[in-house]
Amino acid sequence: MPNLILSRLTKTFGVTRALRDVSFTVAPGERIALLGHNGAGKSTLMKIVLGLIPFDGGMATVLGAAPGDRAARRQVAYLPENVAFHPALTGLEQIRTYLRLRGEAARDAMGLLDRVGLADAATRRIGTYSKGMRQRVGLAQALIGKPRLLVLDEPTSGLDPVSRRDFYATLDGLAADGASILLSSHALTEVEARTDRIVILSQGAMVANASLAQLRQQAALPIQMQVRARDGAADMVAESLGGARFNGATVNLNFAPDQKLARLTQVTALGALIEDVEVIPPSLEDIYSHFSKQVRP
Amino acid sequence: MNAILAISAAEFRIALRNRWVAIAVAMMALFSLVLTGAGSAPTGILGADRLSVTVASLTSLAVYLVPLVALLMSFDAIAGEVERGTLPLMLTYPLGRVEILLGNFIAHMLTLTLAVAIGYGLAAGVAIWADPRASAGVPAMVRLFWTSLILGAAFVAIGYAISVIARRPGAAAGLAIAIWLVLIVLYDLGLLAAVVTDDGGRFTTEIFPWLLVGNPADAFRLYNLSASDATAAAAGVGAAAHAIPPAYALASILLWPLLGLGLAVLAFRKVTS
What are the start and end residues of each CATH 3.40.50.300 domain in chain A? 4-217
Query: In this complex, do B272 and A76 lie within 8 Å of one another by their Cβ atoms?
Result: no
Q: A74: which chain B residues are within 8 Å (Cβ-Cβ)?
A: 94
Q: For B13, which residue in chain A has the nearest alpha carbon?
A: A89
What confidence tier does B235 reach under pLDDT thresholds 50, 70, 90?
Answer: very low
A20 in Cβ contact with A205 (< 8 Å): yes
Contacts of A52 in chain B (CB under 8 A): 88, 91-92, 272-273
Closest residue in A to B83 (Cα–Cα) = A84
> One digit per residue, pLDDT tens: chain A, 297 residues?
899 999 999 999 988 889 999 999 999 999 999 998 888 899 999 999 999 999 999 999 999 999 999 999 999 999 998 899 999 999 999 999 999 999 999 999 999 999 998 999 999 999 999 998 999 999 999 999 989 999 999 998 888 888 888 889 999 999 999 999 999 987 777 777 788 999 999 999 999 999 988 988 888 888 888 888 888 788 888 888 887 777 778 888 888 888 888 888 888 888 888 888 898 888 888 888 888 877 655
Angle between helix axes B138-166 and B246-269 (nearest 10 degrees) is 30
Relative orientation angle of helices A212-219 and A284-292, to the nearest 10 degrees: 70
Distance from the B108 Cα atom to the nearest Cα atom in chain A, whole angstroms: 16
**Amino acid symbol at B61:** L
Considering the four listed CATH numbers 3.30.230.70, 3.30.70.120, 3.30.590.10, 3.40.50.2300, the one that applies to the domain covering A222-281 is: 3.30.70.120
Q: How far apart are CA B29 and CA B14, in angstroms?
A: 21
Judge contact between B17 and B107, C-beta under 8 A.
no
**Is the domain defined by A4-217 classed in CATH 3.40.50.300?**
yes
Q: Mark yes or no for CB contact A103/B3 under 8 Å.
A: yes
Please tell me which of the candidates A76, A82, A100 has its beta carbon nearest to residue B92: A76
B211 burial (CB, 10 Å; 0-12 / 13-18 / 19+) is middle
Please, which residues have CB within 8 angstroms of residue B272's CB and are 6 or more apart in sequence?
A52, A53, A54
**From chain A, which residues contact B within 8 Å (Cβ)?**
47, 50-54, 70, 73-74, 76, 78, 80, 82-86, 88-89, 93-94, 97-98, 100-103, 125, 138, 141
| A73/B17 CB distance under 8 A | no
CA of B13 to nearest chain A CA: how many angstroms apart? Answer: 8
What are the pLDDT digits (tens) for A195-232?
A: 899 999 999 999 999 998 898 888 888 888 888 888 87
Residue B103, pLDDT > 50, answer yes
- Say whether residue B94 is in contact with chain A using an 8 A CB cutoff: yes
Residue pLDDT, tens place only, B150-171: 999 999 999 999 999 998 999 9
What pLDDT does residue B201 have?
78
Q: How many CA atoms lie within 13 A of A139 on its CB side?
A: 30
Domain of residue B184, residue span: 2-269
Phi, psi angle pair for A76, to nearest 5°: -115, 130
To 5 degrees, how large is the angle CA A219–CA A225–CA A230? Answer: 180
Chain B residues close to A78, C-beta within 8 Å:
88-89, 92
**CATH 3.30.70.120 domain residues, chain A:** 222-281
Mutation target among B12, B19, B89 for the A interface, most CBs of A within 10 A = B89
B47 has a chain A CB within 8 A of its CB? no
CB of B14 within 8 Å of a chain A CB? The answer is yes
> Can you spell out the DSSP letters for A82-93?
T----TTSBHHH
H helix or E strand, kind and range, residue A223: strand A223-229
User: What's the total number of domains in chain B?
Assistant: 1
Q: Which residue does chain A place closest to B19, by CA atoms?
A: A88
For residue B2, give the chain A residue with the closest CA.
A100
Assess contact for B18 and B111: CB atoms under 8 A. no
The minimal CB distance from B14 to the residues A54, A84, A89 is found for A89
Closest CA to B261 of B147, B116, B99, B120: B99
pLDDT for A158: 80
B19 touches chain A (CB under 8 A): no
pLDDT band, very low/low/confident/very high, at B232 (cuts 50, 70, 90): very low
Q: How many CA atoms lie within 13 A of B135 on its CB side?
A: 1
| Packing angle, helices B76-84 and B138-166, rounded to 10 | 30
Which of A11, A79, A7, A87 has the alpha carbon at shortest distance from A50? A79
pTM score of the predicted model: 0.87
Kindly provide the ipTM of the predicted complex, given to two decimals.
0.86
A–B: how many Cβ contacts below 8 A?
72
| Cα B83 to Cα A232: distance, rounded to the nearest angstrom | 68
pLDDT for res A102 = 95
